Structure 1
Amino acid sequence: MSTKAKVVPAKKSIATKPAPIKPPKEQPPELSIKVIKSAETTSLTGTGVLGYEIGTDEAGETHYRITANNAGGFFSGEWVSWPAIYGVCNGHTQITSILFRALFKGKSVNTAGFLMAVLQQEGLVQRVPGKTRLYALTEAGRKKAA
């Protein structure tokens, strides 16, 4: 019995062109925001204390940002405007912090929950009775958007 090795033709390699180098995206100009309030609140889980600031821009829009977390979790310190926050909440009767993830550019997922804690402290959202992670805009939150 002769055993011949089966010859498998080599696959042709496909020449690929290197990906074009993309220039960095233009960064938006730094917002000029005047801090009008610095405060602290507890996280939604109650395990940490968060520092935050509220500010206004030249157009009078209100902005929020997280400045500290004593529990050690990462967060983004970027400003987020109330119109942007309201924009992701609008049309939802109940909201979770997951909606806020779209407001932060690939930063820590903690920031969305921290923002919810700030909005709760400021009276703009409240926990839905009987629900652990569901919130709703308060009357003050709806009026602020008007």
Structure 2
Amino acid sequence: MGKDGNKTIETDNDVATFLAAVEPPERREDGERLAALMQAVSGQPPRLWGPSIIGFGSYHYRYDSGREGDATRIAFSPRKAELVLYLSGISDEDCVPLGKHKRGKGCLYIKRLSGIDMGVLEALIQQSWDYMADNPA
């Protein structure tokens, strides 16, 4: 656990090594492609946050409760069943033209990048990156 109480903290673990071990191979390829896309949008290098989240950029937050910490601005995790993207500032309506996906609170779930519109995904990532610049917490 990080000094601020967060379980998901930035680590020094190597992203390329982590991605090379992702299974199945299709998920690994999608993870490498998504990492390149998020790096291009953000202009930031990929960093591992916790054991399995690849994040780009960071911000400091402070809640009214006094809890504070650091988090990644945009991120994803190449899980066995699907890619989980952690994006803020996007709506269900924004995601309609994306293609086959599911939504959760702050998450976008995609089985395969081949099943979605990559131009729409890039626009959503950019929208989230810009939103986090203006609304960090």
Could you tell me the TM-score, scaled by structure 1's length?
0.27
Q: Which fold has the larger relative contact order, with Cα–Cα distance below 8 Å and residues 6 or more apart in sequence?
A: 2
Could you tell me the TM-score, scaled by structure 2's length?
0.28
Q: Which has the larger radius of gyration?
A: 1
